[in-house]
Amino acid sequence: MFDNSSIIRCRKIWKLYGPGAEAAAGLRADALDDDYLGGHGLVPAVRDATLDIRKGEIFVIMGLSGSGKSTLVRCMTGLIEATRGDLFFGEDNLRGIDPKRLIEIRRHKISMVFQDFALLPHLTVLDNIAFPLRVQGIGREERLARARELTDLVALKGREDRFPHELSGGQQQRVGIARSLTTDPEVWFLDEPFSALDPLIRHEMQDEFLRLQATLHKTIVFITHDFEEAIRIADRIAIMQDGRIVQVDTPEQLILKPADEYVAEFTRKIPRHRVMRTGSLAGPATELASGSPVLASALIADVASRVLTSDRPVPVVDAKGAIIGAIDRERVINTIFAHGAR
């Protein structure tokens, strides 16, 4: 039965490259070990991947180059077909789906933003943004009206008639983002969209991305190899290694409870107070606690000054305002200076 809370469901997805990949699709999963794959010249880009992506969340897939993250996303978007397993987009299984139905899904339900901006150099900003609607046969007046709405949304108003070479890297990426939104997709895929930008512009585009999500409330699948970027934007993160999904969790839990040394190495240099929530650090409620409470959902970094300047523990409350514990200076100091410690 379809789970309404999940818009994408991957079940034991494999993507194999090499001669005999199709024959391997009929084998038991436990037969696809390294000996079999190596002996038959097969390269497992994705190995036995299972995950759910929930409606409205920012789901980040990350890993080093060659980990399989981009291949998995290309399976999710129907750009390539998985070798085995099931991959549901809503109620549609993309494995073996009718090509016409796949085209409909890709035109109306999903969109992608890539690392290279892929703008058409002979078209203006407005025409680049409107291009997907042109492909769909939408009339010029209607598609340009939609494009003008999106230039405002991504802060490009006044640059509608410029050509790509007249824009900065950040502005070009804004055009790519606006273009990907013209069809109002259900799921928005972004494949390392900011990695080609310099650090200052990259940070600015992350801010812009979060601002857009606060307005649009899309389901987002975001690929990156940068853990700091991932924890800044993600609701949940999947870490991949050698085609396998090693762990899927919130940024906080990846740091507090890494599944193995590989995940621990990814998170080792991330300051914990920038990821951990107050509720995770709170101790038992105490009569000594006083002053204005802090939310359990707040980042330690955001409440640190409040706690550090208090002589007494500070109450911690849930979203309804009920006290669930307290946090003191010692806990905050230990967290801040535990940077890199395990």
312-320 own/partner pairs: CB under 8 Å, 24+ apart: 312/288, 313/283, 313/286, 313/288, 313/289, 314/289, 314/290, 315/285, 315/289, 315/290, 315/291, 316/278, 316/279, 316/282, 317/293, 318/279, 319/295
The angle at the Cα of 119, spanning 115 to 121, to the nearest 5 degrees, equals 140
Q: For residue 124, what is the DSSP state?
A: -
Identical fold between 6-109+185-267 and 272-336: no
Q: Residue 57: how many CB atoms within 10 A of its CB? A: 19
Domain coordinates in residue numbering, the chain = 6-109+185-267, 272-336
Residue recorded with tokens 């899309």: 218
Angstrom distance (rounded) from CA 223 to CA 63? 9
For 147-167, what is the mean pLDDT?
Answer: 91
Output the six-digit token pair for 283: 């101790």
End-to-end Cα spacing for the chain: 42
Q: Look up residue 123 and give its two tokens.
A: 């078209």
In CATH, which of 3.10.620.30, 3.40.50.300, 3.40.710.10, 3.30.70.1400 is domain 6-109+185-267? 3.40.50.300
> What are the pLDDT digits (tens) for 262-278?
999 888 888 888 888 89
Residue 339 has a pLDDT of: 52
- Measured CA to CA, the distance from residue 291 to residue 242 in angstroms comes to 50
At the top level of CATH, which class does the domain 272-336 belong to? alpha beta
- Give the mean model confidence (pLDDT) for residues 82-105: 92
The answer, yes or no, to whether residue 168 has pLDDT greater than 70, is yes
318: exposed, middle or buried (Cβ count in 10 Å: 0-12, 13-18, 19+):
middle
Percentage of the chain with pLDDT > 90? 49
173-218: pLDDT as tens digits = 889 999 999 988 999 999 988 887 788 888 888 888 888 898 889 9
Report long-range pairs for 229-232 (Cβ below 8 Å, ≥24 apart). 229/194, 229/202, 230/60, 230/62, 231/270, 231/274, 231/275, 232/206
Mean pLDDT check: name the lowest of 33-42, 43-52, 238-247: 33-42
